Structure 1
Amino acid sequence: MADLLQGFVDLGPSIVLPIIVFIFGLVLGAAPRKAFIAGVTVGIGFIGLNLVIDLLGGSLGPAAQQMVDRFGLNLTTIDVGWPAASAISYGTVLGSLAIPVGIGVNVLLLIFGLTNTLMVDIWNFWHAAFVASLVNAVTGNFALSLFAMVTYLLLMYLLGDLIAPTVEKFYGYPNITFPHGTSAPGFLVAIPLNWIFDRIPGFNKLQADPETIQDKFGVFGETTVMGLIIGIVMGLLAGYDLGGILGLGISLAAVMVLLPRMVALLMEGLTPISEAANEFVKKRFPGRELNIGMDSALSVGHPAVLSSSLLLVPITIGLAFLLPGNTTIPFGDLATIPYAVCLMAPVFKGNIIRTVVAGSLYMTSILYITSWAAPLVTMAAQAANFDLGGNSSVTAMVEGGLWPTWLFITAGQNMPWITIGLIFVVCLGGLVYVNKVKAAKVAG
Structure 2
Amino acid sequence: MLQEVHTIFQTFGASVVVPLIIFIIALLLRVKPKTAMMSAFYAGVGLTGFTWVITEFTPVITKVVRQMVNNTGIKLPVVDIGWEAGSLAAFGSTVGLSFFVFGLLVELILFAVGVTKVFLPSNIWNNFGYMIWGTLAFYATHNYWLSLGLEFFMLLYSLVLAEIQADRWSNYYGIENTTVDALHNIEQVVPAILLDPLWNLLGFNKIKMTPKDFKKKLGIFGEPITMGIILGLILGILGNLSSLTTMKAWGQITSVAVQLAAVMTIFPLITKVFAQAFTPLSAAIDEQQKKKTHDKQNNRYDKKRWFLAVDDGVGYGESATLISGIILIPIMVLMAFILPGNKTLPVVDLIAIPYMVESIVAITRGNILKVVATGVVWFSLGLYAASWLGPIYTGAVAHYGVAIPTGVVMVTSFNLVARPLNVLVFAAFISENPLWITLAIIIYLVLLFGLRKYRPQIWRYLNKMAAKNA
Q: TM-score, normalised by structure 2?
A: 0.88
For residue 184 of structure 2, the aligned residue among 182, 186, 189 is 182
2:58 is aligned to 57
* Aligned 8 A contact 1:92 1:383 in 2: no
Structure 1 segment 170-319 matched on structure 2, within 5 A = 170-200=172-202, 202-239=203-240, 241-277=249-285, 288-319=304-335
TM (norm. structure 1) is 0.93
Aligned position for 1:114: 115
Aligned equivalents of 1:420, 1:18: Cα separation in 2: 37
Q: Is the CA contact 1:313–1:337 (under 8 Å) kept in the aligned structure 2?
A: yes
Aligned match for 2:371, one of 355, 361, 380: 355
Go from structure 1 to structure 2 and tell me whether the alpha carbon gap of 1:114 and 1:432 turns closer, same or farther (over 3 Å shift): farther
Which of 381, 386, 395 is equivalent to 1:370? 386
Matches of 2:369 and 2:142 in 1, distance apart?
Answer: 44
Matched, 1:4 2:12: no
| 1:335 alignment counterpart | 351
Which range moves more in the overlay, 98-107 or 337-346? 98-107
Find the aligned partners of 1:182 and 1:207 in 2 and give their Cα distance.
29
Contact 1:182 1:339 in 2 (8 A): no
Answer yes or no: is the 8 Å Cα contact 2:184–2:417 preserved in 1: no
Alignment equivalent of 1:396, drawn from 399, 404, 413:
413
Deviation at 1:321, TM superposition (A): 1.9
Compared with structure 1, are the counterparts of its residues 328 and 241 closer, same or farther at alpha carbon in structure 2 (3 Å cutoff)? same
- Post-superposition offset of 1:344: 0.6
Cα distance, 1:33 vs. partner? 2.7
Letter matched to residue 249 of structure 1: A
Q: Distance in 2 between matches of 1:54 and 1:189?
A: 30
Considering only aligned residues, what root-mean-square deviation do their CA atoms show, in Å?
A: 2.3
Distance (whole Å) between structure 2 residues aligned to residue 210 and residue 132 of structure 1: 39
Does residue 135 in structure 1 map to residue 151 in structure 2?
no
Shift of 1:413: 4.4
Deviation (angstroms), 1:197: 0.8
Q: 2:338 aligns with which of 322, 336, 350?
A: 322
Aligned positions, number = 441
Contact 1:8 1:16 in 2 (8 A): no
> How far apart, in 1, do the equivalents of 2:67 and 2:443 lie?
45
**In structure 2, distance between residues paired with 1:32 and 1:273:** 12
What do residues 282-328 of structure 1 show as CA deviations (whole Å, max 9, x unaligned)?
77899733200111111111111111111111111111222222222
| C-alpha deviation, 1:127, in angstroms | 0.8
CA deviation vs aligned residue, 1:256-301 (integer Å, no higher than 9, x gap): 1111111111110122233345556777899733200111111111
CA separation in 2, counterparts of 1:382 and 1:299? Answer: 32
Question: Gaps (5+ residues) in structure 2?
Answer: 241-247, 295-301, 460-470
2:308 aligns to what SS in structure 1? strand
How do 1:376-387 and structure 2 match up within 5 A?
A: 376-387=392-403
Q: CA deviation at 1:341?
A: 0.8
How far is 1:375 from its partner? 0.7
Q: How does 1:55-94 map to 2 (within 5 A)?
A: 55-94=56-95
Q: Give 3-state SS (helix, strand or coil) of 1:97's partner.
A: helix
User: What's the offset of the Cα at 1:251?
Assistant: 0.5
Shift of 1:111: 2.2
CA distance in structure 2 between the partners assigned to 1:295 and 1:429 by the alignment: 28
